Amino acid sequence: MSKNLEKTYNPKEIEPKLYEKWCENKYFHAEVDRSKKPFTTVMPPPNITGKLHMGHAFDNTLQDILIRYKRMQGYNALWIPGTDHAAIATEVKVTEQLKAEGIDKKELGREKFLERTWQWKDEYAGTIEGQLKKLGVSCDWDRERFTMDEGCSKAVEEVFIKLYEEGYIYKGSRIVNWCPVCKTALSDAEVDHEEQAGHFWHIKYPIVGTDRFLEIATTRPETMLGDTAIAVHPDDERYKDIVGKNVLLPLVNREIPIVADYYVDKEFGTGAVKITPAHDPNDFEVGKRHNLPEINIMNDDATINELGGKYAGMERYEARKAIVSDLEEQGFLVKVEDHSHNVGTHERCGTTVEPLVKQQWFVRMEELAKPAIEAISNGDLKLIPERMNKTYMNWLSNIRDWCVSRQIWWGHRIPAYYCQECGKVVVAREMPEVCPDCGCTHFVQDEDTLDTWFSSALWPFSTLGWPEKTEDLDYFYPTDVLVTGYDIIFFWVIRMVFSGYAYTGKAPFHTVLFHGLIRDSQGRKMSKSLGNGIDPLEIIEKYGADALRITLVTGNAPGNDMRFYDERVEANRNFANKVWNASRFILMNMEGKEITVPNESDLSAVDQWIISKMNTLTKDVTENMDKFELGIAVQKVYDFIWDEFCDWYIELAKYRIYHAEEDPAAANSALYTLKTVLGDALKLLHPFMPFVTEEIYGALVPEEESLMMSSWPEYKESSCYPEAENIVDHMKEIIRGVRNVRAEMNVAPSRKAKTYIVCENENLCQGFEEIKESSMPLMSANEIQIQSDKSGIAEDAVSVVVADAVVYLPMEELVDFEQELERLTKEEARLTKELARVNGMLNNEKFISKAPEAKINEERAKLEKYTQMMEQVQERLKGLRK
Which segments are annotated as binding site for ATP?
Answer: 528
Residue numbers in the known binding site are 528
> What crossing angle do the helices spanning 536-543 and 545-553 adopt, rounded to 10°?
120
Chain-centre distance for alpha carbon 54: 9
Q: Which neighbouring-strand residues pair with 597?
A: none
Within 8 A by CB and 6+ apart from 391, the residues are: 486, 489, 490
The 8-class DSSP code of residue 605 comes to H
Distance from C-alpha of 772 to C-alpha of 336, rounded to nearest angstrom: 84
Alpha-carbon gap, residue 440 to 455, rounded angstroms:
32
Q: Are 362 and 163 in contact (CB under 8 A)?
A: no
Q: Which amino acid is at 613?
A: K
Secondary structure element (H or E) that encloses residue 812, with its range:
helix 811-814
Beta bridge partners of 196: 341
| Residue 375, CB-side half-sphere exposure with 13 Å CA sphere | 29
Gap between the Cα atoms of 565 and 588, Å rounded: 35
Does the CA dihedral 424-427-431-432 come out positive or negative?
A: negative
- What span, in angstroms and rounded, lies between the C-alpha atoms of 425 and 28? 47
Determine how β-strand 562-563 pairs with β-strand 518-519.
parallel
E runs forming strands in 229-332: 229-232, 246-249, 254-260, 272-275
- The DSSP 8-state label assigned to residue 277 in this structure reads T
Are 591 and 548 spatial neighbours (Cβ–Cβ below 8 Å)? no
Read off the DSSP letter of residue 513: E
**Judging by DSSP bridges, how do beta strands 781-787 and 753-758 pair with one another?**
parallel
DSSP one-letter code for 568: H
Residue 670 exposed, middle or buried by CB count within 10 Å (0-12, 13-18, 19+):
buried
Bridge partners, residue 249, by sequence: 254
Give the H or E element holding residue 825: helix 817-842
Closest CA to 9 of 540, 570, 689, 696: 696
Computed from CA positions of residues 332, 335, 338, 340, in that sequence, does the dihedral angle turn out positive or negative?
negative
Q: Nearest 5°: phi and psi at 454?
A: -65, -40
DSSP helix/strand/coil, 449? strand
Nearest to 808 by CA among 734, 879, 719: 734
CA distances in angstroms from 694 to 19, 369, 638, 684, 849, listed in the order given? 10, 46, 16, 12, 68
The radius of gyration of the chain from alpha carbons, rounded to an integer in Å, stands at 37
Q: Where are the beta strands (DSSP E) in 453-580?
A: 481-485, 511-515, 518-519, 562-563
Are the CB atoms for 69 and 127 separated by under 8 Å? no
> How far, in Å, CA of 609 to CA of 604, rounded?
8
The answer to whether the CB of 569 falls within 8 A of the CB of 539 is: yes
Q: Give the C-alpha distances (Å, rounded to integers) separating 882 from 657, 790, 821, 833, 879.
A: 44, 21, 11, 26, 5
Please answer whether residues 124 and 50 qualify as being in contact, where contact means their C-beta atoms are separated by less than 8 angstroms: yes
Query: Does residue 152 contact residue 143 with C-beta atoms inside 8 Å?
Result: no
Pure H helices in 640-721: 651-658, 664-685, 690-700
